[in-house]
Chain A
């Protein structure tokens, strides 16, 4: 768990990490530890870490919507579901190869991002919250009711993909796939934050009207956030589907959306290390507490509450200009 250093922006490790070279070294060390992890942890540890890395991808995706563009989204699981179900339906029902189906998953995510984003982006954030929540539920109920998505039982027998002669099928294979995806998501998030689009998001988040006056098309910019966030979610979902081999509507519930949002805000939205830390806490916390039995979620929730009370902007928040 190399990202779990509770560093603060203005003291402790904070200033140390401001140095770009040091930051690169820290990233490389983190990556090296992640690559070596299967040697240290048993198979169970690998499954849990894979899960945490999946969450890193999802959280970074939601972070673009919530953290960068400042849009509340309570239905992020819908994008995750769109990715997983596109792969599931195309490979199981229509016999597509995974890599042929994969672009369709991305396309479907873009479409979903536009459908949800398009007509609703002029809403206030609270209304946006309920619309995204409603959209998430519509996607889940549709998956539960439609024949093509296997109804409540979901789809099973989703084949593991091949990549240049490498059959991705063991849990260690999937672990490395998710290490790669998480690294990709981190890189993409960095690049986006420092791009023109990233600055446009910053403007829109701080003052929409001023941004509009500066010639930024706010609807377009917000839509871009939704679409990019959706793509992250769909990629996570696609590999989630092949990893589990079976998907069902339970995996894409409102609780799932809430958990991802919780991780983003807990860690410190807008800040990449914070979001990664949040993802690890949300996944590892309940697992590490497994021996508490029925008390485990209670202890976890109390912990969350305390963290929020003592660090209201998240554990590792973005610096406010």
Chain B
């Protein structure tokens, strides 16, 4: 114990005092590896590692091997600023990652000031767009796209009145607001908007409130753990309408927590590996390497790394401006999750959302 402690402390002091150390080409991965979102973060690191292994096996980039430097954000703004500064200090060529929108937001300025290309693989709040200094590229569709998909699909299900529940964080509140706006614009009624706190466990008061408003559908915009509890409690209390969840809840673990209650729940989701025709070999490789199935954001993290690598290749150097220019001019890059091109605002040019439905304790496609 003492030895680990001392070693870590020494490593820490060294990290604190060395300025730049770029021998190989270092790629930064900014994701949470502690805290409640740690699973997603580790999964994204694995996917990036897989992409890097493939690139290195092909002789690397610009004649050099790639290596990962991780920055743990713990989904906290202050911690993510520290992590981003550490990545910048380590002299990374570019950064892939960005999971929680709230924790990604303040790091954009840091990468902007340091002129480091940043491929945002998961975070998708529309609040990120105006903060982009120009070097960040969002390869996940934004909350606005998801809201549009939700409205389109729920309309198709004959839903008229909708209750929206968020968790009071940047990501889920943004999605809730956007959906509420789009829903009312489409001429329907928002029956209730509710905010719960993460880790609260008991949502019975909110459930009663929803039941008294009696909407045709309930839309949960936050993460799977609390979403699972809410779904369970809604069904236990006898709520009969449709339930839909956002892309933060597309984890298979939703079924562990909600159990039977998750049957028939719809999820709006970024394309996960199991539903991507191109990703069959990716799933195989991932399982061989890490001994488990890739999680919901693995394909996007993999795409992000491959995209960054192509941009570096095209730039022909580690010059940030050239890499950013190469990223901006990407046109139909073939990723696992479909072709990537960017809008003027550096967001994905098309919506990539699909709809899933819970059946027999797993997700199936509902929109084919």
Contact = CB atoms under 8 A, between A and B. Distances in A.
B106 A246 contact: yes
Contacts of A295: 4
A294 B9 CA distance: 15
Interface string A131-174: 00000000000001100000111101100000000000011000
B187 to A, nearest CB: 25
B81 interface: yes
A248 B34 contact: no
B189 interface: no
B105 A248 contact: yes
A297 interface: yes
A296 interface: yes
Interface string A171-186: 1000000000000000
A153 B82 contact: no
Contacts of B13: 288
A251 interface: yes
B89 A44 contact: yes
Nearest to A43: B89
Nearest to B12: A288
A187 interface: no
Interface string A36-49: 00001111110110
B11 interface: yes
Interface residues of B, number: 46
Interface stretch (B48-56, B124-132, B348-356): B124-132
B102 A153 contact: yes
Contact of A47 (B9, B11, B85): B85
Interface string B185-209: 0000000000100000000000000
B34 A41 contact: no
Contacts of A291: 7-8, 11-12, 15
Contacts of A44: 15-16, 82, 85-86, 88-90
Nearest to A293: B33
A289 interface: yes
A41 B101 CA distance: 30
B19 interface: yes
Interface of B: 4-5, 7-9, 11-13, 15-20, 33-34, 38, 72, 76-78, 81-82, 85-86, 88-90, 101-102, 105-106, 109, 113-114, 125, 127, 130-131, 168-170, 172-174, 195
Interface of A: 40-45, 47-48, 51, 144-145, 151-154, 156-157, 170-171, 244-246, 248, 250-251, 287-297, 299
14 contacts: A42-B89, A43-B89, A44-B89, A45-B16, A47-B81, A152-B170, A152-B172, A152-B173, A244-B106, A246-B131, A287-B12, A288-B9, A292-B5, A294-B38
Given A156-B131, A294-B33, 4 more contacts: A42-B19, A44-B82, A51-B78, A250-B77
Instruction: Enumerate the 10 nearest inter-chain pairs by beta-carbon distance, A residue then B residue, closest first.
Output: A288-B12, A42-B19, A44-B89, A47-B85, A152-B173, A153-B170, A45-B16, A153-B127, A291-B11, A44-B86
